[in-house]
Amino acid sequence: MSRIVSKFGGTSMGDALCMSRSAKVCVRRNSSVVVVSATSGTTNDLIKLGELSENGNQTEAEALAKSIQTKHLKIATDLALPSEPLSELKVLLSEMESIARGIYLLRDCSAKAKDVLLSLGERLSSVLFAQALQTAWPQKKVKLLDVRSVLKTDETFGKARPLTTEISKLCEKKLGNLKDGKVVYVTQGFIGQTLAGATTTLGRGGSDYSAAILAEGIKADTLEIWTDVAGVSTTDPRLCKDAVVIDEISFKEMSELATFGAKVLHPATLLPAIRQNIPVLVASSFEADKPGTWVRREVKNSPLIRALALRKKQTLITLSTPEMLQAHGFLFQLFKIFNDHKISIDAITTSEISVSVTIDSSETISPQLMTELSQVAEVQIEKDLGLVSLIGNNINHTPGLAKRIFEAISEINVRMICYGASRHNFCFLVDEGHASHVIQKLHQKFITGV
């Protein structure tokens, strides 16, 4: 019997109807482990709840907590939740209130406390979804698994890293009975636990990654990502109305696409899938009849340009110093500073006396970072830029490609270009205000071909 891990995102958990629809998908696909996100908008609400409580805004915090409760209790009623899971749900809802109150009293929402608060989103939705699935699939025993008993992580609260060896052992121990085919597990995405027992989260959008980690842990045959679009498109359908769903894409291309902005998959999702060579299906839980996109090691076609991606809200940091001239160790010094501050750099270019790097606006440029950088170079910061990427194959060995790209957008000022490092990616930075236009122009030129 093949083992399938199926993950459903927030919109697929939106309300009782969405949950029942997603449950039917699990039955049709014969899922073994189902990983769910928080109901649509709940993680954002919980973040807001933490902020309001920390800022002493009790009335608004209480109103928000109430609306989160009402939303989940309504789904419980619509799904006719039996008394046992209903009391479980109520315990979680009052835990949410207590945590918010604790944050309010202390006026402190540490990263560690925030992770416990955010974990409630997935813990709540999984209780509800387990019932929806049991109703849709009476032939199976649906078991609700607290993923924290399996998905062990380090202590980087807010962006925890999974401990893969530990996870494999625990998957074997806790999910070994999948073999007999009588049980299906429902569990939470996004959350994990340190070895000391503290709750962690894997970063926004991390449920895809959780599903991939579990797929690796149970040595799954397939990982399925069920979302609100019919697969991976040639670009974000919200940016370009001509975007078309891709039937097949390689692991390497998809990794670039996800890293460089395609929100449809969390960028780390493919790491476990690549390690275990697990094919990944991305498809819509709303239109489950459509074929979706297969992400695989080997694919039939390898076009020059497969898709376009955009990462918004990029910050460009340019560091200049004449001391770099003919010197060695300067880049090491700079990168050590970024490393000490745990800042992840996306794109880099250098000249004789300067280096430019891009970072995501979610990274914090602290006064301490600025002081340390200013000690070694003159620092210039530009915000609100968009990183446009063309993803495909053999990109760094195709004569004339750069000319064709920049001809199509000749009126746009390009701030930085990264070319040559990857055969799968060509990216450059433009003003964020121009970014959607650039994507549309390039989509026309390289994908629809008009």
Nearest-approach distance from CB 126 to ligand ASP, in angstroms? 11
* Of 5, 6, 11, 281, the one binding ligand ADP by CB under 6 A: 11
Query: Can residue 9 be called a binding residue for ligand ADP (CB under 6 A)?
Result: yes
CA 180, 185, 191, 194 torsion-angle sign: negative
Task: State the number of binding residues for ligand ADP (CB under 6 A).
Answer: 19
Per DSSP (E only), the strands in 57-154 are 141-145, 152-153
In 176-220, which residue ranges form alpha helices assigned H by DSSP? Answer: 207-217
The three-point CA angle 118-121-126 to 5° equals 140
Query: Can residue 205 be called a binding residue for Mg ion (CB under 5 A)?
Result: yes
Cα 111 to Cα 226: distance, rounded to the nearest angstrom: 29
The CA-to-CA distance between both ends of the chain, in Å, stands at 47
**Are 254 and 239 spatial neighbours (Cβ–Cβ below 8 Å)?**
no
The three-point CA angle 149-156-39 to 5° equals 60
> How many whole angstroms from its chain centre is CA 100?
25
Instruction: Find the largest Cα–Cα distance for the chain.
Output: 73
Q: 161 vs 204, which CB is nearer to ligand ASP?
A: 204
Contact map string, positions 19 to 38, toward ligand ADP, x by CB under 6 A: ------------------x-
Q: 258 vs 355, which CB is nearer to ligand ADP?
A: 258
Query: Can residue 227 be called a binding residue for ligand ADP (CB under 6 A)?
Result: yes
Which among ligand ADP, ligand ASP, Mg ion, none contacts residue 204 (Cβ within 5 to 8 A by kind)? Answer: ligand ASP
Which residues 6+ apart lie within 8 Å of 250 measured at CB?
A: 295, 296, 297, 298, 299, 302, 393
Nearest-approach distance from CB 100 to Mg ion, in angstroms? 25
User: What letter represents residue 320's amino acid?
Assistant: S
Query: Can residue 236 be called a binding residue for ligand ADP (CB under 6 A)?
Result: yes
Q: 9 vs 121, which CB is nearer to ligand ADP?
A: 9
Query: Can residue 179 be called a binding residue for ligand ADP (CB under 6 A)?
Result: no
Task: State the number of binding residues for ligand ASP (CB under 6 A).
Answer: 12
Query: Can residue 233 be called a binding residue for ligand ADP (CB under 6 A)?
Result: yes
Which among ligand ADP, ligand ASP, Mg ion, none contacts residue 228 (Cβ within 5 to 8 A by kind)? Answer: ligand ADP
Nearest-approach distance from CB 213 to ligand ASP, in angstroms? 13
* Of 205, 206, 267, 272, the one binding ligand ADP by CB under 6 A: 205
User: In the numeric block, which tokens belong to residue 231?
Assistant: 């697969």
Q: 10 vs 392, which CB is nearer to ligand ASP?
A: 10
Which residues 6+ apart lie within 8 Å of 354 measured at CB?
A: 318, 319, 320, 321, 324, 377
Return the residues of window 91-130 that contact ligand ASP according to CB under 6 A: 121
Residues near ligand ADP (CB under 6 A): 9-12, 37, 205, 227-229, 232-233, 235-238, 262-264, 307
Q: Which parts of this chain interact with ligand ASP (CB under 6 A)?
A: 9-10, 37-38, 43, 121, 189-190, 204-207
